[in-house]
């Protein structure tokens, strides 16, 4: 079978998969996504960034660049944008990321984040299951964000 025909058949099969075709589900306050749409899509489509998780350092570089190019918003809108990116698009290393990144990505309270910081000083987390068993963390939340949690 010709290569182009195999590629077409594979593409058709992938498009038939609902999980692969479904729009991404974002967590948190829906007003955060509204702020992202307002602030971040004045000059380009959100597809440029909504499918690309990055480290928080990289996101801050993107924010700095976009601000220099004229992106603006109210303080409240910009706070919502930051929260949205932390909750939905930031990659962390459980054993290295700072507390202000861990909390939003893990869906953890300040007290739980402090306990994680104390624990990782004594013994780094080895894997997802070890993290998911940590008191105060919601396994279902971690499962949804698993692809953005590194060790």
Reported as a single tens digit per residue, the pLDDT across 59-83 is 999 999 999 999 999 999 999 999 9
pLDDT digits (tens, 9 = 90+) for 82-136: 999 999 999 999 999 999 999 999 999 999 999 999 999 999 999 999 999 999 9
Residue 123 domain flag: yes
Query: What letter does residue 148 receive in the DSSP assignment?
Result: G
pLDDT at 13: 39
φ and ψ at residue 123, rounded to 5 degrees = -150, 115
Residue 77 domain flag: yes
Q: Assign 29 to helix, strand or coil.
A: coil
Q: How far apart are CA 84 and CA 27, in angstroms?
A: 8
For residue 22, is pLDDT > 80?
no
For residue 17, is pLDDT > 50?
no
**Among 87, 96, 92, residue whose Cα is nearest residue 124:** 96
Q: Which comes out higher in pLDDT, residue 121 or 22?
A: 121
Residue 18 domain flag: no
Domain that holds residue 49: 30-150
Residues 94, 127 contacting (CB under 8 angstroms): no
For residue 11, is pLDDT > 90?
no
For residue 7, is pLDDT > 80?
no
- Give the total number of structural domains in the chain: 1
């Amino acid at each position: 079978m010709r290569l182009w025909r195999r590629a077409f058949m594979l593409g058709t099969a992938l498009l038939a998969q609902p999980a692969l075709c479904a729009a991404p589900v974002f967590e948190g306050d829906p007003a955060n996504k509204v702020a992202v749409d307002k602030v971040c899509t004045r000059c380009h489509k959100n597809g440029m960034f909504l499918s690309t998780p990055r480290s928080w350092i990289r996101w801050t570089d993107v924010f700095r660049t976009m601000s220099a190019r004229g992106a603006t918003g109210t303080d409240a809108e910009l706070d919502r944008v930051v929260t949205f990116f932390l909750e939905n698009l930031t990659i962390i290393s459980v054993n290295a990321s700072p507390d202000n990144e861990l909390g939003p990505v893990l869906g953890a309270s300040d007290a739980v984040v402090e306990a994680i910081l104390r624990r990782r000083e004594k013994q780094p987390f080895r894997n997802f299951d070890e993290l998911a068993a940590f008191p105060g963390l919601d396994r279902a939340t971690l499962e949804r964000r698993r692809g953005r949690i590194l060790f």
